[in-house]
Structure 1
Amino acid sequence: MDELRRLFESEGAREYLGEPVTQAEHMLQAAALAERAGAPDALVAAALLHDVGHFHGVLTGADLMAGTDNRHSDTGADWLAQWFGPEVCEPVRLHVAAKRYLCAVEPGYHDRLSEASKYTLGVQGGPMPAEEAQRFAAHPYAADAVALRRWDEQAKDPSAVVPAFARYQDLLQRLIRQSLSD
């Protein structure tokens, strides 16, 4: 819990890859949107933690914006798996794929992306080809990843008022204990 809190207070306080919010504000907004939508606790946690992969691994968010895919969804999911089960980690792992999927199957979705998100889409492989989109749609966590992706895109409002990280600590602690006991 201390490590997660530290990420929000340190690396999370930095600029969010060309968006008008910090990385922490972005993730907190995504969690608040998930909570308002009545998402289960694990999906609220996934929304809160979906971009932690920008802080870990050899490549960072700055590398992504420079044109190298940092694979932050995989890095983040793998790092979170030391504490959380697949109901948190798999939507995190799939949230970039969900953007690629939605751009392939939902008319107008691409046009609603922020300029930074359109740019990273190209770095991350662009819209999925039809066969890949079919495989993605069949994944057991595809629906959760798509929901997370929609909150991700909405979570870039510089005037949004959302709870602080502390608001989610009990929820995260419950999920950590539950994963450890499974």
Structure 2
Amino acid sequence: MSAPARDNLTSKNIVAFLADIFERRGGEEYLGEPVTMAEHMLQGAHLAEQQGEAEAIIVATLLHDIGHFTSEFGTFSMNDTKDKYHEVAGGRVLERFFPSIVTDCVRQHVAAKRYICATDPDYFGQLSEASIHSLKLQGGPMSAAEVAEFEKQPNLREIVRVRHLDDAGKVAGMATPGFEHYMPMLQRVVDAHCGAAGG
């Protein structure tokens, strides 16, 4: 079965659409890291699952970088001189089908890096070279005013959690389940949200 076009997405085929993206684009280089895009997202989801996180957090971690695949601006590279806002692109694709806890984590995972850099003095030293480069493009650590505003996020704890899982998913050779392992979970989260939202 061919993947549905973005304009024809429904709660019944969004998971197939996402699976198709992973299959076609997942082997692409991940921002100068020692893993592919798919390996990075699958590692984060696997770690979340191993650590007993709720399904919404596992799903958010799995999909946090989906905007790299769906953004008309293309994926990040170490030669970039401006940000491409993949988090916005990803949130746009997911917002009709996933609850706000998922879409908030996707939309805010870039801001979360800036937030943690401003609030945790040890965090910057743990970032990879590629993550430091993208941080510069994304505005650097937050100011005190930005921190205060960001802390008003209703899903702040979950957003920060997904950011840490994002950072952990960059290990060359880590064995993880494939995307198909998460498809039933994705569908459950979609069905619960779309049912509660009346469609």
Give the TM bin, normalised by the shorter chain. over 0.9
* Structure number, greater radius of gyration: 2
Give me the CA root mean square deviation.
Answer: 1.2
What SS does structure 2 have at the residue aligned with 1:31?
Answer: helix
State the alpha-carbon separation in 1 of the partners of residues 45 and 81 from structure 2.
28
1:2-13 to structure 2, matched below 5 A, reads: 2-13=16-27
Give the alignment partner of residue 162 of structure 2, picking from 128, 145, 148: 148
Structure 2 equivalent of residue 113 of structure 1: 127
Q: 1:144 to 1:116 in 2, by over 3 A?
A: same
Query: Match of 1:47, as an amino acid?
Result: T
Unaligned runs of 5+ in 1: none
> Which moved further from structure 2: 36-45 or 115-124?
36-45
Higher helix share: 1
**C-alpha distance 26-63 of structure 1, shift in aligned 2 (>3 A):** closer
Deviations 1:31-84 (A, max 9, x none): 011112211111110000000011123212236751221111111011111221
Distance in 2 separating the partners of 1:67 and 1:147: 28
Match of 2:184 among 152, 170, 182: 170
Task: Give the conservation status (yes or no) of the 8 Å contact 1:77–1:92.
Answer: yes
Q: Does 1:24 align with 2:38?
A: yes
| Alpha carbons 1:17, 1:65 under 8 Å: kept | no
Q: Unaligned 5+ residue runs, structure 2?
A: 1-14
Higher mean C-alpha deviation, range 171-180 or range 18-27: 171-180
Residue of structure 2 aligned with 1:128, choices 138, 142, 153: 142
4+ residue runs over 2 A deviation: 62-65
Aligned to 2:7: none
Aligned to 1:86: 100
Per the alignment, residue 95 of structure 1 pairs with: 109
Aligned length: 182
Partner Cα distance (2:42, 2:31) in 1: 16
User: How far apart, CA to CA, are the structure 2 residues paired with 1:15 and 1:95?
Assistant: 20
TM-score (structure 1 length as normaliser): 0.96
User: Would you say the 8 A contact 1:63–1:69 is kept in 2?
Assistant: no
Task: Measure, in 1, the Cα distance between the counterparts of 2:59 and 2:81.
Answer: 29
